[in-house]
Amino acid sequence: MRVLAAMSGGVDSAVAAARAVEAGHDVVGVHLALNRMPGTLRTGSRGCCTIEDSNDAWRACDRLGIPFYVWDFSERFKEDVVDDFVSEYAAGRTPNPCMRCNERIKFAALLEKALALGFDAVCTGHYAKVVRDADGHPQLHRAADWAKDQSYVLGVLTHEQLEHCLFPLADTPSKAEVRAEAERRGLSVAAKPDSHDICFISDGDTRGWLAERIEMEPGEIVDETGTKVGEHSGANAYTVGQRRGLRLGRPAPDGRPRFVLEVRPKDNTVVVGPERLLAVGEIRGIRVSWAGLPPSEAETGEEFACEAQVRAHGDPVPARARLEPAAVPGAPDAHDGELVVTLETPLRGVAPGQTVVLYQGTRVLGQATIDAARSPERLLPR
C-alpha cells in the first residue's frame, strides 16, 4: 500500500512509521504545520506544534529513509479547532479540541488530501485498533495497552475513514516498549517527553488565554436554590465540576466545598452547589456519528446496552442508549437525531460540549457531543 505517515515529531508516530516501512508499505512522511507562528520554539510549550517538532519529524524520516514533507494546515486548524474552541466556551460549553482535531484535521483534511494524491491509507501513532468483522467491515477497538488507549479521541471516525486508517501501535503492550524500540532503531525521539494539555495554549493557562479572546463581563454566582453567593469576572471561564478559584463570599451551610454545577452564558450566571449534585444519570448528545456501521437499534430507536465514557482517560460505565429522531425535522435548529444515554452508574461533573463515546467491550460504537446532562436530584434546563 501507499501510506502517508502523519509525523508529529514524537516517538509514537516515528515508531508507527518505522513499522509501516518494515511491513513493506511505500511510506511518505508528512508533518502538519498547525501553528500560525512557525518559528515557535518548545521553550515553555506543552504541545506538539513547534518548529523543533518539525525538525524531529524530519530526522525520524531521514533515519527511516523515507521522503518527508511539511503541509501547512494552520488556517484550517485555526478555523476548525481553535475558533471552534473559543466559540464553544463563549456558549458556555466545554469542548474537547483533540476530538475536533482528529475529526476535522487528521482524519478529514489530511485523509482527503492523501486520497486525492493516490495514497491508500494514513498511518498515525495513535494507540487504537481497526478490526474487520465477518463481512470485512472495519470496526474501531481499544488498543492492547489500556493505559495508553486513545480510542476515545478517535470515536469521531466514520466507517469511510476507518477504511483508510493504519494504527501500527495497536497491539503494543506498553509505551515503554515503544521507547525501547525507538532506541533500537536509532530514532532520536526515543526519550522525548509526551506532549500534553492543549497544544495551542503553550503555557497551559486556559482561563487567561480565553480572557484575551472572549469578552468577559462580571456577573453573579448563585447556589442551587438561586441565592447569590458570590461574583465572577466572566462566566465563560468556568467549567462544570470546577472547585478551585470560585472565591465565594458566603460559605455553604454545611461548610463543605462547592462545585460549579452549571454555566449559563445567556444571563452570565454561574451555578454552584454540593458535590453530590454533580452526579449525572442521563446524557443527551447531538452531532451523533458511528465508528463503523451503526448498531441495528440505531435504525429503529430501540435501546441497546453499552458502556459510556466521557473523558479521554475516564473509566467507562454501564449504560443503555437509544437514538431519538429530530423533534422537528427541517427546523432551523434541527439535527439528525439525539443520542439519549441512561447511565447505570452515575458520572460526576459531566459538562455540555464534552463528548460521550459508546463502547461494547473493546469496540467503539460511536460518539455524540453532550448537549445536556441531567442529575437524578436536579434536572438542568436543556
| Options 48, 101, 123, 306, the catalytic residue | 101
Amino acid found at 121? A
For the record, the C-alpha cell of 367 comes out as 460518539
pLDDT for 332 equals 44
Cβ atoms 257, 237 nearer than 8 A: no
pLDDT for 381 equals 44
CA distance 219 to 221: 7
pLDDT for 40 equals 47
Model confidence over 52-106: pLDDT tens digits?
Answer: 889 999 999 999 999 999 999 989 999 999 999 999 888 888 888 888 998 899 8
364, burial (CB in 10 Å: exposed 0-12, middle 13-18, buried 19+): buried
- Give the bridge partners for 33, in sequence order: 72
Q: What's the mean pLDDT when you consider all of the chain?
A: 88
- Give Dmax (Cα) for the chain: 67
Write the DSSP assignment of 168-199 as a string of letters: TTTT---HHHHHHHHHHTT-TTTTPPPP-S-T
**Domains in the chain: ranges and CATH:** 2-184 (3.40.50.620), 216-273 (2.30.30.280), 279-374 (2.40.30.10)
CA distance 324 to 247: 41
Nearest to 347 by CA among 314, 380, 382: 314
Predicted TM-score of the model (pTM):
0.88
User: 101 catalytic, yes or no?
Assistant: yes
- Of 190-204, 221-235, 296-310, 326-340, the one with minimum mean pLDDT is 326-340
Does 151 have pLDDT greater than 60? yes
Cβ atoms 201, 212 nearer than 8 A: no
Does 197 have pLDDT greater than 80? no
CA distance 87 to 10: 30
User: 306 catalytic, yes or no?
Assistant: no
Model confidence over 32-67: pLDDT tens digits?
Answer: 988 765 444 444 444 456 788 899 999 999 999 999
Does 155 have pLDDT greater than 90? yes
Does 119 have pLDDT greater than 50? yes
**Overall average pLDDT of the 287-294 stretch:** 94
pLDDT for 327 equals 61
**Overall average pLDDT of the 361-375 stretch:** 93
